[in-house]
Chains A and B, each alone.
Chain A
Amino acid sequence: MTDASQNAGPMLAADGTPLKQSLARSLRRQKLRALLLVAPLLLFVLFSFIVPIASMLFRSVENSIVQETLPLTVEALQSWDENSGELPDEAVYDAFVRDMVVAVDNKTHTRLGSRLNYEETGMSSMFRRSGRKMGKLDPETDGPFKAQVIEIHEGWGDPKTWAVIKTHSPAVTNGYFLNAVDMRRTPEGAQSQPEDKQILIKLFGRTLFMSLVITASCILLAYPVSYLLATLPMRVSNMLMILVLLPFWTSLLVRTSAWKVMLQQQGVINETLVWLGLVADDARLVIINNQIGTIIAMTHILLPFMILPMYSVMQTIPPSYTRAAKSMGATNWTTFWRIYFPQSIPGIGAGSILVFILAIGYYITPEIVGGTKGVFISNRIAYHISSSLNWGLAAALGTILLGVVLLLYWVYDKIVGIDNVKLG
């Protein structure tokens, strides 16, 4: 037995190397070549998609600015009890002056001020105003500092200030996520925001609800259109297709602004209704700057994303099935509901996912026609990115939104099945 296998030896390739090895080598070369071919795409996706998303996820918990700007203070504050209601001792003030002298030199103290101002109103000006005077102190000779620092700005004589610094000192924080769900980080642990500042949960709910309504109205409107497109003679359906695609090629802003002209109280729709006598002049319809405006405009803008997948699925449904059903005595309704509709579901699924995911992140249209009741969570994200510069909170909101979309996707997969989606 041993002899036999030794005699047979490993199978050799023409050049004398074992066949297994030579096969593996050539396979590896092939794989490498394939990898090289997809490398541009992979790298592109990596750098333009995965890295930014990862860095956004990271931003929502990143908080090293406090430790980096005030390293000695943060350390000295460890031994101070923030719930005691008393001011920290001289050691903390001494460390604080040392940190501030360096920070003022690097001009990072005001940056920290804006960061802490998200948590406690007034911190921004406290750091800005104190900066100049504290930068001039000499940590070695000018001490003790407690009284001097409080003299520079009375805010440093408030235990709450130090509690805020200590509470927000960890380099990794859950503070932004707490803020994103209308809560906040306090020395006593997580607490809900005061009632008059709670808005984000409401906006999340509204975003989901309105996206669902928009998806549903897209289905209702797109289904008959796609059916016509798929069943009419080619020449007519091509014309119809152009009508579907024309708005699709028009700028989003132009379409949204056009809706403004249509929907406003002195707009085309209201003027027509008043002229026809259907609506009294002093009781014109309010169909813009509210939820209705957002739903109408977004349904119109997202409609092609529903029509196109539906149409391409419906095109593949053989007409002979419905003819067969009818020949066996089914009514029109039964034929549609039992034969045609089930076959068109993959198109509805694909369109719904597309429309819903696009809708949930929409920003421009709700901003222009949404007024106050028709805006989405994305409008808040945009505000925190470009106006308040609270990127941590914006990242936390974005992360939650991403999580919600993934969750819904999973639910959809469980209920409808993701295999049951076709784009054609």
Chain B
Amino acid sequence: MTEAVFRETTAELRTQSVPLAHLSLELGHLYMEDFEAGPERLREHFAEVRLWVDAARASAARRTGGKRPRISTCFLIDDYFTRFSTPAELVPLVLKEAEEAGLVIDYLARESGCAVADRIELAESVRHRLVESPPPGSYGSRPSVSQTGWLANGQRTPSTKRAALGEVRGWQPPQETAARNHSVFMDVELWSEKDGRRLWSCPFLAAVWQLARLGLLRHLGEPVLVPRPWTGEDFPTDWDRLPPLLQLNPRAAAFSAYRTCTLMPNRFLAVEDAVRLILDQTEVDSGALRQVAERSAREGLAVPAAVAQRATYVFYEEPVNATAPEGP
């Protein structure tokens, strides 16, 4: 068929591609309590992580058939739920402790960048992309996106409120949609509202973070959370002045990758299970999805079709001196 003579650019869709490494390796997630526990806590963390980093690298190399894999490392600091210290004080400390453990942090991200980065509301965009897994019997009459702020992996326990003239029915169990014999039912809070302001939950922001690392986020076809290079100047004294994603190592492999591996203490297990639940019910940009599938297949490293399957984790035992607070 011949090319069309007439074109209208506003009538065409385009998705810009992003550079992709083989593996995005997260070396840690820093919360206030970790910081308050002092530099020893960080030292312990990196010493433990170092072992698993070597294992993750070996695993990636096995996948690339001995060819040197492109691996980028990243580190996330929470500035969303609690603000503590300043980049000027904290970042050099993190870098020093990582270096002493023989680790290089290629990219540094702020957690609030997963909510809003460069004035683009990433979390809100991802919320619009949630497509709830339909329990059996869903024929199209259910609302398409959760308005409640909760996302489940099945059907909740029916409300036991007594209907007018109705009988009080006994308790009914919830039901996991993909249950094998027995249910493991999970219901995840995606956000809460306080004083008219929406506070995204930790699992929801972590799901956005995973999508960014997997190269699957776009805004109007353009890449988002694009790393800004660090030119060696002092880090600012205000978190808002630190770019949401900073490239610390100029020779680093690309930030986004075909797969992610996240190394974290085992108290995050529930949070990350919730992240998988969210990823499993998120319809990502189809153009970005196709680009990743095609390029990974061309390299002989085809990604799993389902997005949640591209994320792996190592949960390690918390250092002894660690306090074990509830998740963030």
Are A and B physically bound partners? no
Interface residues of B (CB under 8 A from A): none
